[in-house]
């Protein structure tokens, strides 16, 4: 008797399904089993054990992502971003499931003047970044067939993310001041979700990957692009430096991620960030 394997989407498990990336994954793969925080706390080993089955591909999108608040809540950040991934990795290794875990550009110190590659040394400068690095290390150590995927500057264009905020400020204000001294890789959550689904079909991919839309921009440049794409005057966006918006967590000045590892693995390159932004605004 031949037993056919269930389709991959039936074996996909999405944690953090109520968040930006988790939500887009479930939209693109509606057969996946999605768990929001109320359904599954990834720091709870018994709860994790109850949902992961042999052969599953677990896409971990659950995380503590409040970068500023993490400075005063390190225990909460390390629980979700360090302990949670360790619990998932241990369970995946135990039952024979595969874990794909999301991480961040903030594991880097931000001092480069060329895109960060997966081989570059980490050195987070914030509690959030340190907690995410702890999660990476736990996953790579405990689950030998897991992948860690670093992404950056993720938006969907709604729910108060950066792009949504610029759309709102364009309606509310004559001019908007936006920081021009941080460079990164703006990434459309829909493109990231599609890339993760491609990766889910590629068990032999490298263990550490970077996945962002290509190119680079400052927040100021991204804000101007939002204005341009909707036909507003981009000169209403004015550059300022980070000292104009002091925040508890100092952001890396440079956190552009290289897609070398992604492309070398034969995975489909992401489109340039500006084309992705255009699509995001058209999709609204």
Ligand X SMILES: NC(=O)c1ccc[n+]([C@@H]2O[C@H](COP(=O)([O-])OP(=O)(O)OC[C@H]3O[C@@H](n4cnc5c(N)ncnc54)[C@H](OP(=O)(O)O)[C@@H]3O)[C@@H](O)[C@H]2O)c1
The residues that are catalytic are 128
The site string for ligand X over 8-47 (x = CB under 6 A, - otherwise) reads -------xx-xxxxx--------------x--xxxx----
- The answer to whether 115 contacts ligand X (rule: CB under 6 A) is no
Is 278 a binder of ligand X (CB under 6 A)? no
Under rule CB under 6 A, residue 183 binds ligand X: no
CB neighbourhood size of 228 (10 A) = 15
* Shortest Å distance, C-beta 207 to ligand X: 16
Give the interface size with ligand X as a residue count (CB under 6 A).
27
Task: Identify the CA nearest to 104 among candidates 263, 196, 212.
Answer: 212
Touching ligand X, residues 120-149 (CB under 6 A)? 132
Q: Supply the minimum distance, in Å, between the C-beta of residue 84 and ligand X.
A: 5
152 binds ligand X (CB under 6 A): yes
Check: CB of residue 84 under 8 Å from CB of residue 47: no
What minimum distance in Å lies between the beta carbon of 2 and ligand X?
38
- Which CA distances in Å does 28 have to 24, 31, 151? 6, 9, 18
77 binds ligand X (CB under 6 A): no
Name the residue nearer to ligand X (CB basis): 132 or 274. Answer: 132
Strand 12-15 versus strand 33-35 pairing type: parallel
- Rg over alpha carbons for the chain, rounded to the nearest Å, is 19
Check if the beta carbon of residue 118 is closer than 8 Å to that of residue 264.
Answer: no
For the CB of residue 171, give the shortest distance to ligand X in the complex, in Å. 23
Whose Cβ is closer to ligand X: residue 69's or residue 278's?
A: 69
- Interacting residue with ligand X among 78, 108, 116, 153 (CB under 6 A): 153
SS (H, E, C) 37-106: CCCCCCCCHHHHHHHCCCCCEEEECCCCCCHHHHCCCHHHHHHHHHHHHHHHHHHHHHHCCEEEEEEEHH
Query: Interface with ligand X includes 154 (CB under 6 A)?
Result: yes
Side-chain-side CA neighbours of 252 within 13 Å: the count stands at 30
Binding-site ranges for ligand X (CB under 6 A): 15-16, 18-22, 37, 40-43, 61-65, 80, 84, 102, 104-105, 132, 151-154
């Amino acid at each position: 008797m031949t037993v056919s394997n269930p389709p991959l989407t039936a074996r996909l498990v999405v944690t953090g399904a109520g968040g930006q990336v988790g939500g887009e994954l479930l939209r693109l793969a509606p057969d996946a089993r999605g768990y929001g925080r109320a359904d599954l706390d990834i720091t709870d080993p018994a709860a994790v054990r109850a949902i992961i089955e042999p052969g599953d591909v677990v896409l971990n999108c659950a995380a503590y992502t409040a970068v500023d608040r993490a400075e005063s809540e390190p225990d909460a950040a390390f629980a979700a971003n360090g302990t949670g991934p360790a619990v998932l990795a241990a369970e995946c290794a135990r039952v024979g499931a595969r874990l794909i875990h999301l991480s961040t550009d903030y594991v880097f110190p931000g001092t480069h003047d060329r895109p960060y590659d997966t081989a570059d040394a980490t050195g987070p400068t914030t509690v959030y970044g340190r907690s995410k690095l702890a999660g990476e290390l736990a996953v790579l150590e405990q689950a030998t067939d897991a992948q860690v995927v670093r992404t950056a500057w993720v938006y969907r264009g709604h729910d108060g993310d950066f792009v949504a905020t610029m759309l709102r400020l364009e309606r509310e204000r004559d001019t908007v001041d936006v920081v021009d001294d941080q460079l990164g890789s703006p990434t459309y959550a829909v493109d990231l979700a599609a890339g993760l689904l491609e990766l889910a079909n590629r068990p032999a991919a490298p263990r550490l990957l970077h996945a962002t839309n290509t190119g680079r921009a400052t927040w100021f440049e991204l804000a101007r692009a939002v204005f341009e794409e909707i036909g507003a005057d981009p000169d209403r966006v004015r550059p300022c430096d980070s000292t104009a918006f002091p925040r508890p967590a100092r952001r890396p000045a440079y956190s552009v991620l290289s897609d070398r590892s992604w492309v070398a693995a034969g995975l489909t390159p992401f489109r340039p960030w500006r084309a992705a932004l255009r699509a995001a605004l058209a999709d609204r």
